[in-house]
Structure 1
């Protein structure tokens, strides 16, 4: 499997080529914390609005509410990801304060544990012993991509992770889990005070249903888009960019999360800078020659699902 040196070598080679061409790539690393705070507020507003629609308009809107909440759970997960890289603020205290106050406990996540495991994912990319995000069972892929997806989707550990975050992670301290649960008790109390008991109860139920169903489906597919069906061997060999547009992109990759190869090569670029970073990288011969880029999810020849199936045929 890909040794750490291959991962670091790919990143170093890319940065050398950027410097040699005089590209203004340093601009990509500038952070706009106000942009992130507005995005977090937007997600919270959509989630609360989806709950309000069920409670105060009509319970028949519950399926649509769950879809909206699931999508915003995925979007907030992307902000948690950026917080893990300190891409909200470079200064750790402010960066972590925002994440721990507004994002991480809402997703049942420990920021410290997330940062630890995600760092290992970057450093030990594709290694069977070391990469915590490696999807198993890629040696003998079935000929139909839906079977591969179903295997991942129906995996008990994967579902439990989607549903409960870090609450059942043995490596997370009891203190951290107590903080998450205490944060939720406080949230439910505030919601009950401001919106009533029915609103607070609906929020919890819709949140859990969304995590257990559509969020798990979206997250499983998104994680497969990142690396599934590729050969371990450095960043280029084992990571792809999803350069897609339209409703499927909004569903699977809110906040530019599909630019995963670009992110692994330039992890200090915030999510709102990834499209520009990808455009800049496409000007480099190294990136053009070695990158895996898919421009669709389904049906077309360049779709990521077709890549999964073509790997099975080799």
Structure 2
């Protein structure tokens, strides 16, 4: 007879185990995929981007461009959240279609790939807080000795946090991400030759279309600029909120914070339930649209309700990782 605890096993489950293990039947139910919900979310994000681009080009006003840049940057973040589900094999039931749709409509437009992200993010889940944690490579959160780097040492003063976010928002970090993503096609070892050829062809086709339409300036203003400014900024805000200065008396809960954003924050900072991060780390088999249900189920566990660090705003989460005084 199979072990019921393995009924919901996922390749990215943490090797450290989960302190509040739910019954297998509950996790199995929460892990059921609904392709229509996933594809509808993807369609909504691209429709929103198309409307924002059309409005900016039609009205051609600086204020409209500014709003469009923030809005499109947030939608780009939403695409990476959906692509994040694809990296966990949770977007579509078919692995082939999961990766194909994930690349074509979520990751490749943002100069990354499902396989590339999966390589680091899967290890972030499996070896969270340990030497093999993928964030140590992708985000450079720790040095060679396993200590947090200066940038990822928290709490910081509020001024230090503001400087960090501003530094990453001006565009250079984003351009470095774009360049790293484009070059990754040549050195990613877990991506097939066929996928590499398709990815290069994809970018070549887009470049040809932009040249034919004489649309390079519009592409720079309404895709690259949002990606390199607001999109990058909220990526850092999210990661800081997820794992920095988590407050709990129980060591099993001190690695990850859940942030439930306001509606406005969900639109422009934390889209598609990405803030339910403690829940996601424990149960990566649960797709993004069921994370609120998973959260509600976990709250019925006394230990989770007593010890989980749960914030009801991304701004509150960022306040929690800061201190007012300057360190002596």
TM-score (norm 2): 0.78
What is the aligned counterpart of 1:131 among 122, 131, 134?
A: 134
Cα distance in 1 for partners of 2:72, 2:304 equals 36
Q: Which has the higher helix share?
A: 1
After the TM superposition, which of the residue ranges 223-232 and 112-121 deviates more from structure 2? Answer: 223-232
- Following superposition, the deviation at residue 122 of structure 1 comes to 0.7
Deviations 1:122-145 (A, max 9, x none): 122123664324633268546523
Q: Which residue is equivalent to 1:217?
A: 233
Q: Which residue is equivalent to 1:46?
A: 48
Matched, 1:145 2:158: yes
Cα distance in 1 for partners of 2:310, 2:323 equals 15
Aligned residues: 297
Contact 2:125 2:133 in 1 (8 A): no
- Over 3 Å counting, the alpha-carbon distance change for 1:143 and 1:65 in structure 2 is closer
Local SS of the residue matching 2:15:
helix
What is the aligned counterpart of 2:108 among 105, 110, 118?
A: 105
Q: Which residue is equivalent to 1:3?
A: none
After the TM superposition, which of the residue ranges 102-111 and 272-281 deviates more from structure 2? Answer: 102-111
- Over 3 Å counting, the alpha-carbon distance change for 1:225 and 1:14 in structure 2 is same
- Over 3 Å counting, the alpha-carbon distance change for 1:27 and 1:146 in structure 2 is farther
Contact 2:154 2:244 in 1 (8 A): no
- Following superposition, the deviation at residue 26 of structure 1 comes to 2.3
Q: Which residue is equivalent to 1:90?
A: 93
Contact 2:280 2:291 in 1 (8 A): yes
Cα distance in 2 for partners of 1:71, 1:166 equals 19
Cα distance in 2 for partners of 1:139, 1:251 equals 24
Cα distance in 2 for partners of 1:171, 1:140 equals 30
- Following superposition, the deviation at residue 306 of structure 1 comes to 2.8
Cα distance in 2 for partners of 1:140, 1:97 equals 37
Cα distance in 2 for partners of 1:112, 1:258 equals 23
Cα distance in 1 for partners of 2:133, 2:101 equals 29
Q: Which residue is equivalent to 1:10?
A: 17
Deviations 1:37-77 (A, max 9, x none): 12212211222222222222324321121112101100000
What value does the CA root-mean-square deviation take over the aligned residues? 3.3
- Over 3 Å counting, the alpha-carbon distance change for 1:139 and 1:105 in structure 2 is closer
Cα distance in 2 for partners of 1:171, 1:35 equals 34
After the TM superposition, which of the residue ranges 109-118 and 179-188 deviates more from structure 2? Answer: 179-188
Q: Unpaired segments of 5 or more residues in structure 1?
A: 1-5
After the TM superposition, which of the residue ranges 128-137 and 248-257 deviates more from structure 2? Answer: 128-137
What is the aligned counterpart of 2:267 among 250, 256, 268?
A: 250
Matched, 1:279 2:296: yes
Q: Unpaired segments of 5 or more residues in structure 2?
A: 1-12, 142-148
- Following superposition, the deviation at residue 33 of structure 1 comes to 1.1
Q: Which residue is equivalent to 2:4?
A: none
What is the aligned counterpart of 2:224 among 175, 194, 208?
A: 208
Cα distance in 2 for partners of 1:186, 1:113 equals 21
- Over 3 Å counting, the alpha-carbon distance change for 1:164 and 1:152 in structure 2 is farther
What is the aligned counterpart of 1:186 among 205, 218, 224?
A: 205
Deviations 1:182-202 (A, max 9, x none): 313323555777xx434x641
After the TM superposition, which of the residue ranges 281-290 and 180-189 deviates more from structure 2? Answer: 180-189
Q: Which residue is equivalent to 2:60?
A: 58
Local SS of the residue matching 1:229:
coil
Deviations 1:136-194 (A, max 9, x none): 3268546523413533653699545544462244743696666444313323555777x
TM-score (norm 1): 0.81
Cα distance in 2 for partners of 1:44, 1:26 equals 30
